[in-house]
Amino acid sequence: MFAHPIMAKHFEPPAFSPGVPQRELRNRMNLLTHAGEAGIIPEHEWNALQSKEAKALLEEDPNTLFDVFEKLNVPVLPGRKGSEFDKSMHYAKEFWQKAKGINRGRSVLACSLAHLKAMKTLVEEGYDFILEDNVRVPLIDPMLDVDVHKDEIDNFQCECANRIWDTIDSSSEWSAESGQPCELRYYGWLGSRPNLEFILEGHCPKRRYERKNAIESTKTFFPFPNKHDVEEYLQNQEDAEKQQTNSKTNEEDEEKADDNKDANAVKAGGTPIWGAFAYWISKDGFESLIHSLQQDVGAMLWKGKRMRCYVVKPIDKIIPRRVIAELDEKSEDEGGRHRVHVATHPAFFRAPMLKSQIHAQWDVAFCTSTEYQMQKCCKNIKESNAGAFWNHLWLTAKEREIVAYRNKTGEWITQQDYAENVQNT
């Protein structure tokens, strides 16, 4: 993707941050090693776990590993959250005690630790952003009636780079105006259809930053939405519905519900924005995130009263919640979310029907949400022409086949199912 002539003019070849194999998290020392490299184990505990005393205990009996803290007089980090029993333990011990029984959640924890490692590298080595390997980019302006895989486009401007710079410039203008730095910036994002409607039809038009130095530009950012924004939007919707007449019959209501399969399923709420597939975080933002995680193992691992195993929180929920909470605490108000910026025009999109290793059941929903998102950003593309949404993105040959199949049949299909269909015809 970055080797494409249009992209190569603006981007250096990407550096790859290694993933975390989930099977390694079953082992005590392997788990603690990945957590230590990610930065969430307090430094004095991490140093003790790497000491010769710890290695000797590990060789003699792995179950005695945490005795090294008493042997080296390592104090328990003060100010931690949780029960009194939890707070009496060192962070590393509490983390292992809860993580060893997560079962199916290991893939989610592996993803979170991999992201934290990548953030550490980004901050220390000065990279521009973090990308997951499931993203695709808009090569040219989608307002142009051009298919990037069929037409000559080498002389066109790179839309991905333009969107990134527009977002950065908007953030810089806001910072100069407000006197506050941006700590977390999203270049790609997604959400459920109800949440996308809330963001693109309610939150973004109302709260987007209006640039003073580029009045004609529509590409800017909006602050990360919070629960109050969602509640206000839902209340406005409810008030609008009350003002409408009740002249529609039950039969008409049923037909409307049939046309919209999500009508009675969900509404805006929860975490409004999905995904951590394209973002940048500042040094202060990363340190705030790590500080928050070190204060509370429950920020990553939690269990309800009737639950047998601990559940892992996904990284795309952890990052904004923890960063904003830390910023709120430092400023003693709820202004932290204003320092988390989301691009109005994403520079990166999730690849179509790229099978998720964690949420495979949502692959189709990811695609339909992406189509809606692109349609709202590209007003000249009619909703009925769904295939046009993908024509300005860099896609692999197999992904283009999947999109062509979707245009022909109206259905999304996995690459494996498509290959089987071709084989059977």
119 vs 367: which has the higher pLDDT: 119
Task: Check pLDDT > 70 for residue 338.
Answer: yes
Task: Check pLDDT > 70 for residue 382.
Answer: no
Q: What is the mean pLDDT of residues 336-344?
A: 95
* Residue located via tokens 């037909």: 255
Interior angle at CA 31, CA 184 and CA 55, nearest 5:
125
The per-residue pLDDT for 312 is 94
φ, ψ of residue 311 in degrees (nearest 5): -110, 140
**C-alpha to C-alpha distance for 166 and 281, rounded to whole angstroms:** 17
Task: Check pLDDT > 50 for residue 261.
Answer: no
**C-alpha to C-alpha distance for 281 and 127, rounded to whole angstroms:** 10
pLDDT band at 260 (very low <50, low <70, confident <90, very high): very low
How does pLDDT run across 396-414, given as a tens digit for each residue? 999 998 888 888 888 888 8
Q: What is the pTM of this model?
A: 0.88
Task: Check pLDDT > 70 for residue 59.
Answer: yes
**C-alpha to C-alpha distance for 96 and 40, rounded to whole angstroms:** 12
197 vs 330: which has the higher pLDDT: 197
Task: Judge contact between 225 and 199, C-beta under 8 A.
Answer: yes
Q: What is the mean pLDDT of residues 45-69?
A: 95
Task: Check pLDDT > 70 for residue 200.
Answer: yes
Q: What are the extents of the domains in the chain?
A: 22-124, 130-240+265-292+295-424
* 105 Cα distance to chain centroid: 17
The per-residue pLDDT for 386 is 55
